[in-house]
Amino acid sequence: MSHALEPALPAPQVLISEVGPRDGLQSVAATMPLAAKCAWIDALAASGLSEIEVGSFVPTRLLPQMADTAEVVRHALRHPGLTVMALVPNRRGAEAALEAGVHKLTIPVSASAAHSMANVRKTREEMVQEVRAIVALRDQRAPDVRVEAGVSTAFGCTLQGGVPEDEVVALAVALAEAGADDVGLSDTTGMANPAQVRRLFQRCFAAIGSKTGAAHMHNTRGLGLANCLAAYDVGVRTFDSSQGGLGGCPYAPGASGNVVTEDLVFMFEAMGVRTGVDLARLFAAREALRAGLPGEPIYGMTPEAGLPKGFAQETAHG
């Protein structure tokens, strides 16, 4: 009686962008060996995840965990249909990423003036110029590659506290004008709340329309899934998350862990929103992560509790 209209409508869909091999692995002290990274990415791809951020092109002395990213990219490119993504902080990183053959670049740009200087020793305006230069490079060398700019500290900053929303929106507009194909908003510090998430994404949609990109939420204060739900409600359809919540311990002081992919996929699938991810295979991929990072805590409440009795997943996958 209440669902008369539902069968006629196609199921809504979201894109889950797995960032564990980049955001997760660069946050832990240990370095996962190349073979283990490749095995983990294979297991993630086998679950139906169709976009994986496999590493970052940054100086090895800063992040030795990411030294083999070009080889990881080349391995990941073997998976047909998988969008292979990498983070680049600047033009030099973008050159290396394009050289390796990535399908998509993501460039972090801080909304917080204080964080921008502390993190990359560049102002926000200088970072917009960097994005413009990377877009020009892409146009010249690999026009099919997609360029995403991720506005970090968009919901607050551990250095300066609040970040004015007008500045976040102005930065999103500047990045879109600089040629970014997608502009996402990142709760780098786990300070976002659902009302703020709805407000800021709505303002982004109003300002840059369909260039509004991913919600990248952390679970520092337990609000990660609620914030993803809030973003979904106002039209966001791409979500970054990390298997096992890798990337800082999500349940510890000062934690900065990403939203747990397993819990996020379960939430959407249970809501009838299709992710294309097979939960059983996704849970199985945790073993590849464990094998590659022995002793590292791996989170996820849905894998620990198990799927609810009677829960049947209709996957687009397999």
- How large is the greatest C-alpha to C-alpha distance in the chain, in angstroms? 62
Strand partners, 284: none
> In this complex, which beta carbon is closest to a copy of itself, that of residue 106 or of residue 220?
220
Residue 164 interacting with a copy of itself (CB under 8 A): no
Among 62, 136, 305, 316, binds a copy of itself (CB under 8 A): 305
CB of 6 to a copy of itself, least distance (A): 10
C-beta neighbour count of 186 within 10 angstroms: 24
Task: Report the C-alpha gap between 266 and 252 in whole angstroms.
Answer: 23
Active-site annotation holds for 249: yes
Residue 161 interacting with a copy of itself (CB under 8 A): yes
CB of 305 to a copy of itself, least distance (A): 5
> In this complex, which beta carbon is closest to a copy of itself, that of residue 301 or of residue 316?
301
Yes or no: say if 182 and 148 are a contact pair by the CB < 8 Å rule: yes
Buried b (16+ CB within 10 A) or exposed e, 240-254: bbbbbbbbbbbeeee
Find the binding residues for a copy of itself in span 180-209 (CB under 8 A).
Answer: 189-191, 193-196, 199, 203
Yes or no: say if 227 and 187 are a contact pair by the CB < 8 Å rule: yes
Task: Report the C-alpha gap between 166 and 169 in whole angstroms.
Answer: 5
Q: Which stretch binds a copy of itself (CB under 8 A): 20-28, 102-110, 125-133, 159-167?
A: 159-167
How big is the site for a copy of itself, counted in residues (CB under 8 A)?
Answer: 56
CB of 223 to a copy of itself, least distance (A): 6
Residue 18, helix vs strand vs coil: strand
> In this complex, which beta carbon is closest to a copy of itself, that of residue 2 or of residue 140?
2
CB of 303 to a copy of itself, least distance (A): 9
Yes or no: say if 212 and 205 are a contact pair by the CB < 8 Å rule: yes
Distances (CA, A) of 244 to 85, 86, 138, 294: 19, 20, 33, 13
Task: Report the C-alpha gap between 269 and 263 in whole angstroms.
Answer: 10
Site string for a copy of itself, 237-276 (x = CB under 8 A): -------------xxxxxx----x--x--xx--xxxx---
Which residue in 38, 157, 228, 249 is the catalytic one?
Answer: 249
- Indicate which residues carry an active-site annotation: 249
Residues that bind a copy of itself (CB under 8 A): 1-2, 156-162, 165-166, 189-191, 193-196, 199, 203, 219-223, 225-226, 228-230, 233, 250-255, 260, 263, 266-267, 270-273, 299-302, 304-306, 308-311
